[in-house]
């Protein structure tokens, strides 16, 4: 006899600080993103632990969900070849650098941020410039006085 209790359990979770109810403790990450209105092609799902740490799930991964858990949709970009999670596609040069610093990327707030374009060239993103980032966009943060 198979235990189906887990598949019928109604669980309350939050995604991007919005409340949702899901049926069952096993949910595909992409389905949770869809539920929150976040495109799984552009966003990844992250579980937010009580201490603020996040655990990232691939779209095809099954997530074991518990009542009251918090999740967030994140856009993963690369800064100096290191993954940085952003909670919104609308960013500024300053906000990307701040997220990179928080993620442990060895850059400073006064570094120049450059976006790596599809043709391989780089375009400076000023601190106050608003841009839309996509999954796995690449950036470089370099010291402002670097003459190399």
| pLDDT tens digits, 41-100 | 999 999 999 998 899 999 999 999 999 999 999 999 999 999 999 999 999 999 999 999
Domain boundaries, the chain: 7-73, 76-142
- Phi-psi domain of 52 (left: phi exceeds 0; alpha: psi -120 through 50; beta: other): left
Q: How confident is the model at residue 3 (pLDDT cuts 50, 70, 90)?
A: very low
The reply to whether 7-73 and 76-142 are identical in fold is yes
Q: Specify whether domain 7-73 bears CATH 3.20.20.150.
A: no
Q: What is the CATH number of domain 76-142?
A: 3.10.20
Half-sphere exposure of 92 (CA within 13 A, CB side): 8
| pLDDT tens digits, 88-138 | 999 999 999 999 999 999 999 999 999 999 999 999 999 999 999 999 999
Name the nearest CA neighbour of 114 among 66, 78, 61: 78
């Amino acid at each position: 006899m198979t235990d189906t209790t887990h598949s019928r359990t109604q669980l309350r979770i939050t995604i991007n600080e919005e409340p949702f109810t899901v049926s069952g403790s096993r949910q595909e990450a992409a389905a949770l993103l869809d539920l929150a209105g976040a495109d799984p092609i552009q966003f990844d799902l992250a579980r937010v632990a009580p201490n603020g740490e996040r655990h990232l799930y691939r779209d095809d991964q099954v997530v074991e969900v518990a009542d009251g858990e918090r999740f967030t949709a994140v856009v993963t970009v690369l800064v100096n070849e290191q993954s940085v999670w952003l909670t919104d596609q609308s960013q500024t040069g300053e906000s990307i650098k701040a997220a990179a610093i928080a993620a442990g990327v060895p850059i400073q707030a006064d570094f120049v941020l450059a976006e790596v374009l599809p043709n391989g060239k780089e375009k400076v993103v000023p601190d106050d410039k608003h841009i839309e980032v996509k999954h796995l966009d690449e950036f470089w943060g370099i010291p402002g006085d670097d003459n190399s």
